[in-house]
Amino acid sequence: MALKVGIYCRLSEEDKNKQSGTDDSGSIQNQKSMLIRYALEQGWEIYQIYSDDDYAGADRNRPGFKKLLSDAQQRKIDVVLCKTQSRFTRELELVEKYIHGLFPVWGVRFVSVVDHADTANKGNKKSRQINGLVNEWYLEDMSENIKSVLTNRRKNGLHIGAFALYGYKKDPGQKGHLLIDEEAAGIVREVFTLFSRGYGKTAIARMLNDRGVPNPTEYKRRQGLRYRQPEKKQSTLWSYSAISRMLSNEIYIGNMVQGRYGSVSYKTKQNRPRPKEQWYVVEGTHEPVISRELWEKVQVLMAERTKPFSTGEIGLFARKACCINCGCTMRSRKMSDGRRYLTCSSRHVSKEACAGAFISVTGLAQAVVSALNRFFDEYLDQDELEEKIEFHHNLEEKEQRLKKDAAAYRKKAGEYAGCIRELYLDKVRGIISEREYLEFSRDFSAEKERLERLAEGAGEQLAALRENEQRGNSRRQLIEQYTKVEKLDREMVEKLIDHIAVGRRIPGTRDVPVKIYWNF
């Protein structure tokens, strides 16, 4: 019975710029033709061709790749066939996980034609591992090279984003230069002018929404740009935060500001905010949309409006309360009766935006104090409850994760130790030269030492976690410090509360739904 083969092809963005038809990357069509011919020569039955166009080898969310793995797990295919091992993945971790780990368990053979990787040949496992390591280095080096180029361009004030900021468009005649988009720039000028005349951010957002003006995301979509953003409610509406970001963006006065976010790792697309001192700011790189005079006036007004309450203190629940309906952060407003209330920030930007959460600061403070005292009363009545409290994270889950991480690091370090031993035997047998042995063993040793350090670090974290768990000092001190609370202050809110979800008053009652997410 003929073996069923799943052919996998991948073409990444950088491959499209290569000129030679003999390059390893090739085109998707060339890969398919070569692999189909190879499969037929082996007498294999082609089950399906899986392909990913414009995906990097480090991307684990490739649709074709995921479908291939799913079919392999379900035993629908007997062989995975690629042009090279790097077409399948450039990550050594995935080489070990699938090619050397799960594929044998699933009864699936892996074959790559050009670099002669074949799991049916036990003798070339080391070469597959070396290929995986080289591909891993390639990813890391490429990431560093790209980062270096982008940093240099940022320092020179060149725009490197895929899309220009709302109010601008990319200059087709000069790469990295911005031109004013008059249609959107008119809205930007209107926003700055309205704010300078005393209109609030929410009022400005509502005015734009009432007129049907598309927000920046929707505007880009209407311009035919392939702008992708995670799905959010009311994605076509202007919001308080959108107006706030616009009013504080220096790009509108001709300064290029970039590097607000930085990547976590070359293996993930996740980004994190960077401190302002690490941003790249270059003045006078393009034509301003608004005048310097208007900009400075707006900044003064924003500083005055964002001053804390008249007491000079930050709001009691600032950045802690959010709407239970839409998730937006609630804002503090002083009403005619002199009391402060928290309202949903999206409630006023459009009639259809949100039903709106609403509660007085005093009422919310009373609800928190009552819930806190109930919780601590229960603790004092049942001392054993201390063992059940999840402080910051589930300690048991964290302990299991640290154990698992330490074991994985030790196992991987052991595998590298085995590779070094096999390399030495190959040197003795004359299979590889002294220079090759020294080169490969040096790299394997460095990786082995790194993994051993990680395992040691995980072990230290585990020991510290167990010590804290046994003592329970953090929980005991916290509970003793805040037993029988009568009045909240900002320090207590910061320490005790992660966030609070607030709803709208239940019709016919005075009850407002409140859900408190504690920091313990």
Model confidence pLDDT, tens digit, residues 349-375: 665 666 678 888 888 988 888 888 887
The most distant pair of C-alpha atoms in the chain lies apart, rounded to whole Å, by 91
β partners of residue 263: 271
Parallel, antiparallel, or unpaired for β 261-263 and 45-53?
unpaired
What pLDDT sits at residue 47?
Answer: 92
pLDDT exceeds 80 at position 92? no
β partners of residue 262: 272
- Close Cβ partners of 287 (under 8 Å, ≥ 6 residues apart): 179, 180, 254
In the numeric block, which tokens belong to residue 90? 């450039």
DSSP string of 329-350, one letter each residue: BEEEEE-TTS-EEEEETTTTT-
Q: For the residues 365-390, what does the mean pLDDT come to?
A: 67
Place of tokens 């003045």: 283
* Alpha-carbon span 297 to 247, nearest angstrom: 11
pLDDT per residue over 38-85, tens digit each? 998 889 999 999 988 877 766 778 899 999 999 999 999 999 999 888
Strands across the sheet containing 330-334: 330-334, 340-344, 358-360
Which three-class secondary structure state does DSSP give residue 501?
A: strand
pLDDT per residue over 247-306, tens digit each? 999 999 999 988 877 665 555 556 677 787 888 888 899 999 999 999 999 998 887 665
Place of tokens 């008249």: 310
Closest CA to 330 of 309, 352, 354, 311: 354
What pLDDT sits at residue 421?
Answer: 75
In the numeric block, which tokens belong to residue 256? 């290029």
pLDDT exceeds 70 at position 408? yes
Contact 125, 131 (CB under 8 A): no
* Alpha-carbon span 209 to 237, nearest angstrom: 6
Helix (H) or strand (E) holding 246: helix 240-247
* Alpha-carbon span 505 to 342, nearest angstrom: 13
Quote the DSSP letter at residue 388.
Answer: G
pLDDT exceeds 60 at position 330? yes
pLDDT per residue over 172-199, tens digit each? 999 889 999 999 999 999 999 998 887 8
Place of tokens 């005093």: 362
Q: CB-based burial of residue 96 (10 Å sphere; 0-12 exposed, 13-18 middle, 19+ buried)?
A: middle
Q: What is the 3-state secondary structure (H, E, C) of 287-341?
A: CCCCCHHHHHHHHHHHHHHCCCCCCCCCCCCCCCEEECCCCCEEEEEECCCCCEE
pLDDT exceeds 80 at position 123? no
* Alpha-carbon span 355 to 512, nearest angstrom: 13
- Close Cβ partners of 514 (under 8 Å, ≥ 6 residues apart): 359, 364, 367, 500, 501, 502, 503
Contact 441, 424 (CB under 8 A): yes
β partners of residue 272: 262
In the numeric block, which tokens belong to residue 509? 């009652």
Contact 109, 118 (CB under 8 A): yes
- Close Cβ partners of 428 (under 8 Å, ≥ 6 residues apart): none
The pTM of the full predicted model, rounded to 2 decimals, is 0.43
pLDDT per residue over 58-68, tens digit each? 677 889 999 99
